[in-house]
Structure 1
């Protein structure tokens, strides 16, 4: 993509922004915006100096097992560029919020902003801005969490992919690097994804909030996505799992007793355990059917059900607590008259990020479907054939989308009560 500003349409560093629209190329139509962005390194230095002792003490307990990406960390430079770039990108939607219904161009637009030493691209910016608004997310809060106000956090990932994972400093947002073909798949499915969330506001699907590219100098572009963290608020979470409903490569060596490492365990680690959901179980089984059927229609597989557990306090076990408020929240959204019950309504706990929270009699469960970008194409067909020969009689992740959806739903049914 030619990201250089064209004469007469982009200010080469003044206070006024200009836009150049070009024909679609690569991942979408290009919109180039040249800005005078502050140095990301300076922004990181400023945020570090502003954090005092009280700030550190306040967050110490909730960050056990997480690692600040500070100076000297191998990902510190990348983090600073992401923070500075995202601050400027979100400012565009704050200055010029999209109005009216979304159109095809809103889903294919690419905004490229030139910074000192790097450029950041924002993919389908108007569409994601609308999506964030529909979720009740305030752009100023989103910008503050992802900008240079504090370091991103890193945890020890048990994923077999080569992706890099980040949490915003307040742990509300999750950032993950993606391959180009994965980003293309997500963008292709974005209109259907937003329509599904509109029809089913309590869907278990992870809430995607943005997609971006980052290129340093003339190097190769890196792509990353931003989504709401399933595990939020994380302060009292005791166990975390990544479930695919199979057994091959689905074991993680647990952290030593007393260790502060935050590990996400897998299917085989969950053997012999169940989730006690009480009245919420029927809702979960139905919502799993709705969401996996949607992913099956998109020909998607290899997604995971993330789960985490948190013991309830005595006041949280009271079924009558905040019932009126919880019922009002559950009724939000517009029911499609042509699809009675499509929202699959439920009572939402009076807690942050409640869409991905279920309260059982004794435990609070954090649940969400993530990694929605793997399409069952020729590559996966061949991988399925190879694994069939390599692991006879065993279950593995690479199967048809129909089989994958059915198997994961059966796993949830078997492991809940």
Structure 2
């Protein structure tokens, strides 16, 4: 039987960042991950581009991860534009309203994972007591006032003071602890990929609510091979239509995406593999239990329309790791009921309002009836004239 202070289930970006955040606190940490160590060291492109706020970038710097990402892979997110249907009009959220040179930055998820893992290895090489147990799966978690026990598929058992779930919005660990979650299945899927295009995106993100589809364009730096303008493209449709789109050959796919974007970007060319994800948002009834906490998507699984998912994850990690480090330094229980309750209250306060607002936005802006489309257009035109409103959105996008 192995003993450690903290068990983190899931070595994705959230789990790795939590391990980094705790690495200087003098605690022993075990990370458990079903994927192999080779995959953790060199994760494959998964289609997802993460929009990070100024606050999140600053925090990744403190964790030693930001500088490990290649500069060319960090794309400036200057502005945001919201479109409705075929109208060329858009509500524009400019970076100047946020007080920063840009709203934030765009980085591929797999590069964040790689950088976070490299930071964990660096911390371990520098003396931090971190053990990564790859190719392992948790099959049971049991906690009480005295401690926590985690049983693995291999037969091993780990005892700890605290268990933290960082294993996705569909967290098995959270379910093992008996924590229910509110899940909203939007009945649609997202196809994500990287494409080049003729017209410049001017480093502006697009959110385009069209008839029976939602499109997003996330600006990337120029293609390293061709020098062409490049973006992450997100198409949200019914699952059957997404599967049809995913099966098209590259040429047919290019022509259809051009058509869906009404050729506003000119000719478009697929530059990556395509990836499909179900559109489901998740908010657990509780973030904590006895000697147990959730972080990342296991705590809040956001709809991507407001681009706050990973940013909320880092906010929760900063809150929880700070409380744990402070408790350990004071020689008190790092997993007391009071400590975990304070974390839950603070993280719920930080996430619940925007989670509910996002649900409202997606419900209103994805309805396809004519009255809904007319109402959306009116709201965008009113919003474009309300500078205080746009400033508040800009500040939110920047993480202020």
Higher relative contact order (CA 8 A, sep 6+): 2
TM range (shorter): under 0.3
TM-score, structure 1 normalization:
0.22
